[in-house]
């Protein structure tokens, strides 16, 4: 038997965690031949609910599930972990300033980064889902000096998938016919969903839609899709966020298809003129369990302006947590 | 491309429906090569929430998902459907008599059975999940005269999986090492989880546990597991129920492994001395998309007594809906 992979989920009794754990145990993330041991982390008040999630996971008799660790202790929670999905975060309270939100989350993701540094597998791959995801990822990576920054990524795959879905609907294409979608920047309303390199069945997507629709409808729709879901469901995106997290890790591990790429929030390395160090979503190809930023794309003036706006927001977020880095 | 299969889910915006839809779209039920079109049914007050579920499903850009029908109209909802998972049911209200609950659900499952009869694929397979599942299944099947009763089944796979999980935990085995678990009777607290034919790595399970534990701990634990989950989570089993529904259909379509069987609520045919016509969970093998009740098992006096108790409950339930059959 293949040795089980240890997969940690924080906020595991929350709505996204609940949608994630069962799909990972079913093999959707790491494949049908990879046994898993789930490490489910929660804050102490949620340990009762977490025990219910653990019971339900056991009740599924998943062939691939070889154990469950349920804990509020980050040392135990990240011990020997190969993949960490950092989902739990402090949500924005009523009247809360954005700066305070970022600082409060820093107090969660800093210690988690340190616990990962001290306890996890040296080859761990980390995906930050909890918002503000990019800056939480920056904080976690900064708190893990033994690890490479490339091991820490932030999720923009949900935005990427939403953008594909919107373009597919508009052009009556199937999502599988669309390639080279790109999300640049922050997982927030400043993100820039860019179709300038996008293809539909191999032909340029930009030729299939008019510029007005792209700028006035498509971009804001993707940027604000989270709020639209809340309006309809009365609850925030859970299953689609979980699905995107599964896609992100599966692609990272198993690779992007030939001729296509995906979007991941990764530490900027100076490429595309993006300030070094901030976690900025960019187009990447994945192979052999690693990612490579797609090089040498032409950036139009329109794109540059949008990239600058989301970069400015990420710089501000970083400034708000400077003392934690 | 393989033609998409049409899969209907009733109560699709509820907690079980929400856990089901994404896993089916991901290929967990019908396999990685079978495209699907989801037919999501809800009652009119839940159509707003259902539109949010539809948005989230689209936002996943699932390669296998080839369309979504969202509706409160059962004719449209079951039109051309190949698989129907009847999840939505009226829950027991405060102070409600059991007979009233059964009668109220009859008013849901009768018309659904008729709509399936009139609109679905003639080869449709139906799984009833909504409680009281066995009797709801009986009502639906009775309302579909064009179809074979064998096309209507009730879910006891959650009980089956729970029983395997409990036995695995007690004997430090993995769930995959346990075979030939049986759930007899009703999906209710009278169900009889029977380990007398069960094996663990090929050896008799009954030799690995003592009779007192089996009778006093195991049986009631499996029977009352639903209440235990509610106590811990503050919400009823959703993801594990969805997972069992996926297992039930997948096994029905793709078959049971050699030497093993599963449990399904199916129309009694007089075998094992069970009253003909009621929907009674029994051990079945599946092959070529059909099921066969496992014949000729020895039934001990203890087992007979337990089977009689759950049979008596199902006869009473049937009596309460006699006018609907």
* ipTM value: 0.97
pLDDT at B163 over 80: yes
Strand partners, B86: B10, B128
Interchain proximity A49–B162, CB inside 8 Å: no
The one catalytic residue in A160, A187, A248, A254 is A187
Confidence of residue A139 (pLDDT cuts 50, 70, 90): very high
Percent of chain A with pLDDT over 70: 100
Band (pLDDT 50/70/90 cuts) for residue A98 is: confident
The H or E element that residue A281 is part of is strand A279-287
A301: enclosing H helix or E strand:
helix A301-320
Residue boundaries of the structural domains of chain A: 5-154, 157-324
Adjacent-strand bridge partners of B286: B291
Partner-chain contact B60 A169, CB within 8 Å: no
Kindly give the pairing relationship between strand A290-293 and strand A279-287: antiparallel
DSSP designation for A16: H
| Predicted local confidence at residue A92, as pLDDT | 78
State the pLDDT at residue B325: 85
Q: Is B264 helix (H, G, I), strand (E, B) or coil?
A: strand
Four-CA torsion B64, B70, B73, B74, nearest 10 degrees = 30
State residue B274's pLDDT score. 96
Query: For B31-89, what is each residue's pLDDT tens digit?
Result: 999 999 999 999 999 999 999 999 999 999 999 999 999 999 999 999 999 999 999 99
pLDDT score at B162? 98
Q: Determine the Cα–Cα distance for residues A276 and A256; give it in Å rounded to an integer.
A: 25
Distance between A322 CA and the closest CA of chain B, angstroms:
34
Please give the mean pLDDT across all residues of chain B.
96
Which chain A residue's Cα is nearest to B27?
A28
Residue A100 has pLDDT above 90, yes or no: no
Min distance B198 CA to chain A CA atoms (Å) = 15
- Bond prior to A147 in cis (omega within 30° of 0): no
pLDDT of A52 over the 90 cut = yes
pLDDT of residue A38: 98
Give pLDDT, residue A195: 98
Query: Is the pLDDT confidence value at A295 over 80?
Result: yes
Segment A98-102 shows an average pLDDT of 83
Residue B101 confidence (pLDDT) above 90? no
Distance from the B279 Cα atom to the nearest Cα atom in chain A, whole angstroms: 23
Q: B206-236: per-residue pLDDT in tens?
A: 999 999 999 999 999 999 999 999 999 999 9
CB contact under 8 Å between B61 and A168, yes or no, is yes
Out of B39, B160, B187, B248, which one is annotated catalytic?
Answer: B187
**Is B313 a residue whose pLDDT tops 90?**
yes
Q: What is the mean pLDDT of residues B259-284?
A: 96
Q: Note the pLDDT of residue A324.
A: 85
Q: How many residues does chain A have?
A: 325
Of B18, B169, B237, Cβ closest to residue A239: B18
Residue A115 has pLDDT above 90, yes or no: yes
* Separation in Å, CA of B64 to nearest CA in chain A: 9
Q: To which CATH superfamily is domain A5-154 assigned?
A: NAD(P)-binding Rossmann-like Domain (3.40.50.720)
**In sequence order, what E strands does chain B have?**
5-10, 36-41, 65-71, 83-86, 125-128, 152-154, 178-179, 182-184, 192-194, 199-200, 203-204, 262-267, 279-287, 290-293
Would you place residue A97 in the very low, low, confident or very high pLDDT band (cuts 50, 70, 90)?
Answer: confident
pLDDT tens profile A2-32 = 999 999 999 999 999 999 999 999 999 999 9
In this model, does residue B99 exceed pLDDT 90? Answer: no
Band (pLDDT 50/70/90 cuts) for residue A91 is confident
Can you give the pLDDT at residue B201?
Answer: 96
The residue-averaged pLDDT of B169-177 equals 97
Mean pLDDT rounded to a whole number for chain A = 96
Please, are residues B155 and B244 in contact by the beta-carbon 8 Å criterion? yes
SS3 content of chain B, % helix, strand, coil (to 5): 45, 20, 35
- Asked if A162's CB is within 8 angstroms of B239's CB, the reply is no
* A244 neighbors A155 (Cβ within 8 angstroms): yes
Of the candidates A26, A66, A175, the beta carbon closest to that of B61 is on A175
Whether the full predicted model's pTM is greater than 0.90, yes or no, is yes
Peptide bond into A132 cis (omega under 30): yes
Of A56, A63, A228, nearest to B240 by CB-CB distance is A56
Task: Indicate if the pLDDT at residue B91 is higher than 90.
Answer: no
Looking at CATH, the fold of the domain delimited by B157-324 is given as L-2-Hydroxyisocaproate Dehydrogenase; Chain A, domain 2 (3.90.110)
pLDDT over 80 (residue A45): yes
Residues B220, B188: Cα–Cα separation, whole Å? 11
Distance CA A315, CA A309 (A): 10
pLDDT of residue A240: 98
The reply to whether residue B56 touches residue A237, judged by beta carbons under 8 angstroms, is: yes
Task: Indicate yes or no: CB of B165 within 8 angstroms of CB of A243.
Answer: no
B173-181 mean pLDDT: 97
Tell me what the mean pLDDT of segment B93-121 comes to. 91
Query: What confidence tens digit (pLDDT) does each residue in A223-260 have?
Result: 999 999 999 999 999 999 999 999 999 999 999 999 99
- Clarify whether A187 is annotated catalytic: yes
Q: What is the pLDDT of residue A95?
A: 78
């Amino acid at each position: 038997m293949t040795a089980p992979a240890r997969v940690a989920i924080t906020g595991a009794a929350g709505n996204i965690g609940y949608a994630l754990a069962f799909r990972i145990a079913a093999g959707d993330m790491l494949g049908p031949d990879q046994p898993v041991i789930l490490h489910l982390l929660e804050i102490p008040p949620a340990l009762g609910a977490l025990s219910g999630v653990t019971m339900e996971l056991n009740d599924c008799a998943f062939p691939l599930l070889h154990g469950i660790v349920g804990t509020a202790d980050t040392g135990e929670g990240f011990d020997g972990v190969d993949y960490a999905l950092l989902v739990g975060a402090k949500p924005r309270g009523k009247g809360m300033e954005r700066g305070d939100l970022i600082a409060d989350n820093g107090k969660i993701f800093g210690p988690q980064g340190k616990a990962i540094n001290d306890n996890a597998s040296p080859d761990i791959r980390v995906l930050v889902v909890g918002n503000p995801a990019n800056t939480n990822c920056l904080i976690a990576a900064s708190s893990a000096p033994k690890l490479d920054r490339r091991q820490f990524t932030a999720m923009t795959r949900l935005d990427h998938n939403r953008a594909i879905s919107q373009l597919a609907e508009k052009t009556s294409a199937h999502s599988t016919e669309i390639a080279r979608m790109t999300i640049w920047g922050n997982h927030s309303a400043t993100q820039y969903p860019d179709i300038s390199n996008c293809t539909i069945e191999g032909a340029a997507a930009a030729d299939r839609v008019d510029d007005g629709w792209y700028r006035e409808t498509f971009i804001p729709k993707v940027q604000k899709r989270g709020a639209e879901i809340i309006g309809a469901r009365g609850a925030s995106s859970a299953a689609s966020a979980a699905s995107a997290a599964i896609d992100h890790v599966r692609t990272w591990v198993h690779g992007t298809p030939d001729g296509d790429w995906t979007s991941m929030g990764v530490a900027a390395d100076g490429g595309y003129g993006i300030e070094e160090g901030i976690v900025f979503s960019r187009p990447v190809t994945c192979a052999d369990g690693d990612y490579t930023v797609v090089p040498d794309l032409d950036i139009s003036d329109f794109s540059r302006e949008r990239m600058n706006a989301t970069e400015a927001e990420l710089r501000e977020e970083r400034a708000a947590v400077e003392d934690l880095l």
